């Protein structure tokens, strides 16, 4: 396959479903060789099958982003198979399936959000750094409107996502001299996480889209994927340290 990402190798964490899967599919369509890094072997392998059916090259690696050893193994396997890393998408994140009031947050909830999201992103960035420096590559970190806007019931999740944004901006400053661009996407998309939230709080959909210029929740592949492709391509070579809300305009109406 040829396209904007031809000859590039992209690692996408949490790519077994939702936004990660959508990004992987969009990148594969543009010629990227995609490494689907996921904790769920079944769903991760299924996405690889999808990408190969589309004519793309793909690899599944089992990866637990709470473990440096697992991350190092995923990076080593990527290099063994493809020989390079050009793009890292830190998408993996776990959080409670139901809204949780601030006073009901436990240390376990906080640890879950920060270990998988913030620390997982931090660890993967460190592990991939020398290889991204060699390729003058791109890092795309996934944050959230829950952090930008301080959504009710999502304190720990939003805090972890804002920590990812702070990390991204610091890395953009430090690693720019190495030719590495670091940017952030804040998506609003029909991921399993959003579906779970709406199941328990259906009124949230109206709140999410009320007054929103485009009036809908986005599609993981069609709406979020192309934004990630842009940030992974040469088209964004002069863009770094920025947050792009791919949210139909939701963030500008708060």
Q: What is the pLDDT of residues 175-222, one digit of tens each?
A: 999 999 999 999 999 887 776 666 666 766 666 666 789 988 899 999
Q: What is the mean pLDDT of residues 105-122?
A: 98
Q: What are phi and psi of 54, to 5 degrees?
A: -80, -5
Residue 120 in domain: yes
Residue 177 in domain: yes
| CATH classification at residue 36 | 3.40.50.720
Given a cut of 90, whether residue 129 has pLDDT beyond it is yes
Nearest to 151 by CA among 192, 216, 96, 215: 96
Provide the annotated active-site residues.
Answer: 157
| Predicted TM-score (pTM) of this structure | 0.94
Q: Could you tell me the two tokens for 1?
A: 């396959």
Residue 2 in domain: no
Query: How many structural domains compose the chain?
Result: 1
Of all residues in the chain, the percent with pLDDT exceeding 90 is 81
Q: What are phi and psi of 184, to 5 degrees?
A: -130, 140
Given a cut of 60, whether residue 161 has pLDDT beyond it is yes
Query: Cα angle at 212 between 209 and 217, to 5 degrees?
Result: 45
Residue 1 in domain: no
Residue 188 in domain: yes
Residue 4 in domain: no
Residue span of the structural domain in which 52 resides: 9-252
Q: What is the mean pLDDT of residues 226-233?
A: 98
Residue 219 in domain: yes
Nearest to 138 by CA among 224, 54, 237, 31: 237
Comparing 51-60, 96-105, 109-118, the range with the smallest average pLDDT is 96-105
Sheet with 181-187: strands ordered across: 58-62, 33-38, 9-13, 87-90, 138-142, 181-187, 243-246
CA distance 33 to 232: 12
**Which pLDDT score, from 0 to 100, does residue 240 have?**
98
Residue 133 in domain: yes
């Amino acid at each position: 396959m040829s396209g904007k990402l031809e000859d590039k190798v992209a690692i996408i964490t949490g790519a077994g479903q939702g936004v990660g899967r959508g990004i992987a599919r969009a990148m594969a369509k543009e010629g990227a060789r995609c490494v689907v890094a996921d904790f769920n072997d079944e769903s991760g392998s299924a996405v690889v099958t999808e990408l190969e059916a589309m004519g793309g090259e793909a690899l599944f690696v089992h990866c637990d982003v709470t473990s440096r050893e697992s991350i190092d193994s995923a990076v080593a396997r990527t290099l063994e198979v493809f020989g390079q890393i050009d793009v890292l998408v830190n998408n993996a994140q776990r959080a409670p399936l139901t809204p949780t009031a601030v006073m009901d947050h436990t240390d376990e909830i906080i640890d879950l959000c920060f270990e998988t999201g913030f620390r997982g992103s931090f660890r993967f960035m460190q592990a991939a750094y020398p290889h991204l420096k060699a390729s003058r590559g791109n890092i795309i970190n996934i944050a959230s409107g829950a952090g930008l806007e301080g959504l009710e019931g999502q304190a720990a999740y939003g805090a972890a996502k804002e920590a990812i944004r702070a990390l991204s901006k610091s890395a953009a400053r430090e690693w720019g001299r190495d030719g590495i661009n670091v940017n952030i996407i804040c998506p609003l998309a029909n991921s399993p996480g959003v579906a779970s939230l709406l199941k328990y709080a259906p009124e949230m959909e109206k709140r999410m889209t009320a007054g929103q210029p485009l009036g809908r929740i986005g599609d993981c592949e069609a709406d979020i994927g192309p934004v990630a492709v842009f940030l992974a391509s040469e088209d964004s070579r002069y863009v770094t340290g920025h947050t792009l809300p791919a949210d139909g305009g939701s963030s500008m109406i708060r």
